[in-house]
Amino acid sequence: MNRMFVLCKAMLAVLCLGNMSAALATEYPLPPSNSRLIGENRVLIVPTDGRSLEKISSDYMIGLIGMLQANPQVDPLLPKPGSELVIPLQMILPDTPREGIVINLSELRLYYYPKGQNKVVVYPIGIGQLGRDTPIMVTSITERKANPTWTPTANIRKNYLAEGITLPAVIPAGPENPMGLFALRLAAAGGTYLIHGTNADFGIGLRVSSGCIRLRPDDIEALFNTVPVGTRVQVINEPVKVTVEPDGRRYVEVHQPLSKSENDDPQTKSISISSYVDSFMNESVTDAAKVREEIARRSGLPVNVNK
């Protein structure tokens, strides 16, 4: 069983973070249309307050796996005080229309482009767990629902029952509802999938849901209050992103691919390279060896790969 899976299972088993401090979404000014690099990474000296990596991730609006990719040697339960921790706040925008909501499953991030505003808001998310995958799709928001009830599907109830948990037919609205206090329903698959909150913050940045997209409570409230019905939603699965910036700098950003089984190790699992990325690698000004190094390293950080 791979290290990342073991670490995440351990975090889920021992964390109890009901009193996490509120955090605000990370907003970035939109770069010009011929640029896709945003933000700057930060380095944090781990304080002596005993915070877990999940708590630090929450404070900086980062998902747990994103922090682990950027800091592969860190102890997620108790980062060593005084050590350096990379806060991955720089990223390459997905190569998609800058419209509505874009979700990249591989990087466990949601990008929201508010209409008429020259900015993008980035949220860490939880997505469908192994065997209950969040599908790739282009859809739209059909309903905004505050204080939603949860009606588990027959498959969800069957899966929970296999784990010894009997779910009621309907879970009422409130703080114990796994959907949290706000939900945005998607048109795809007859409205089966939602973007919603959670009553368990530690699942953000992990594959933990039954296929829906999950946000921290403060994040879903902010998104809910700004996203209108009819908003376009595009879900992609692209672990490798590249960009050529206006000044000629070339960057690659590589995330771990989604596992297909518990035996997969996302750090070594092969990644399918698109024709666009292949062309980028083979251009004379690209250091192809460095790109291959990043594909193997999978840090989730944009790295300059000019020769």
* CATH number, domain with residue 159: 2.40.440.10
| Position 6 in a domain | no
Residues 169, 193, single domain; the answer is: yes
238 near 47, Cβ under 8 Å?
no
In angstroms, rounded to a whole number, what is the distance separating the alpha carbons of residues 215 and 61? 11
The mean pLDDT value for 133-140 works out to 96
* Residue with token string 């010009």: 32
> Percent of the chain beyond pLDDT 90?
66
| Position 99 in a domain | no
> Which of the residue ranges 53-67, 89-103, 199-213, 276-290 would you say has the lowest mean pLDDT?
199-213
Residues 162, 254, single domain; the answer is: no
CA max distance for the chain: 60
Give me the pLDDT at residue 131, please: 84
137 near 103, Cβ under 8 Å?
no
| Position 9 in a domain | no
Residues 187, 255, single domain; the answer is: no
The mean pLDDT value for 67-78 works out to 91
Q: Identify the residue with better confidence: 3 or 208.
A: 208
- Checking if the pLDDT of 22 tops 60, the result is no
CATH number of the domain that 79 lies in? 3.10.350.10
The mean pLDDT value for 160-167 works out to 83
Residues 221, 171, single domain; the answer is: yes
- Residue from 282, 276, 285 nearest 250 by CA: 285
Residues 191, 131, single domain; the answer is: yes
Q: pLDDT digits over 168-221, tens only?
A: 888 888 878 888 999 999 999 999 999 999 987 677 888 888 899 999 999 999
Give me the pLDDT at residue 5, please: 41
Give the pTM: 0.87
User: Average pLDDT, whole number, for the chain?
Assistant: 88
> How many other β-carbons are positioned within 10 Å of the β-carbon of residue 166?
7
Residues 193, 247, single domain; the answer is: no
Q: Which of 8, 16, 196, 255 is catalytic?
A: 196
| Position 105 in a domain | no
The mean pLDDT value for 268-292 works out to 95
Residues 177, 207, single domain; the answer is: yes
Residues 213, 272, single domain; the answer is: no
168 near 88, Cβ under 8 Å?
no
Q: Identify the residue with better confidence: 214 or 10.
A: 214
Strand-strand pairing, 194-196 and 182-186: antiparallel
Into how many domains does the chain fold?
3
Name residues whose C-beta falls within 8 Å of residue 299's C-beta, 6 or more positions apart in sequence: 69, 70, 72, 254
Give me the pLDDT at residue 25, please: 57
Give me the pLDDT at residue 301, please: 97
Residues 130, 225, single domain; the answer is: yes
| Position 143 in a domain | yes
The domain of 160 spans 125-231
Residues 136, 199, single domain; the answer is: yes
Domain stop point among 169, 200, 231 = 231
Token output for 217: 């409570």
DSSP reduced 3-state for 221: helix
- Checking if the pLDDT of 122 tops 90, the result is yes
Residues 197, 287, single domain; the answer is: no
Task: Give the HSE-up count for residue 84: Cα atoms under 13 Å, Cβ half-sphere.
Answer: 6
Q: pLDDT digits over 73-113, tens only?
A: 999 888 999 999 999 999 999 999 999 999 999 999 999 99
In angstroms, rounded to a whole number, what is the distance separating the alpha carbons of residues 106 and 127? 10
| Position 107 in a domain | no
Q: Is 212 a catalytic residue?
A: yes
| Position 2 in a domain | no
| Position 29 in a domain | no
Residues 136, 202, single domain; the answer is: yes
Helix axes 288-297, 275-282, angle to 10 degrees: 130
Name residues whose C-beta falls within 8 Å of residue 216's C-beta, 6 or more positions apart in sequence: 23, 58, 123, 124, 197, 198, 201, 204
Which amino acid is located at 307 in the chain? Answer: K
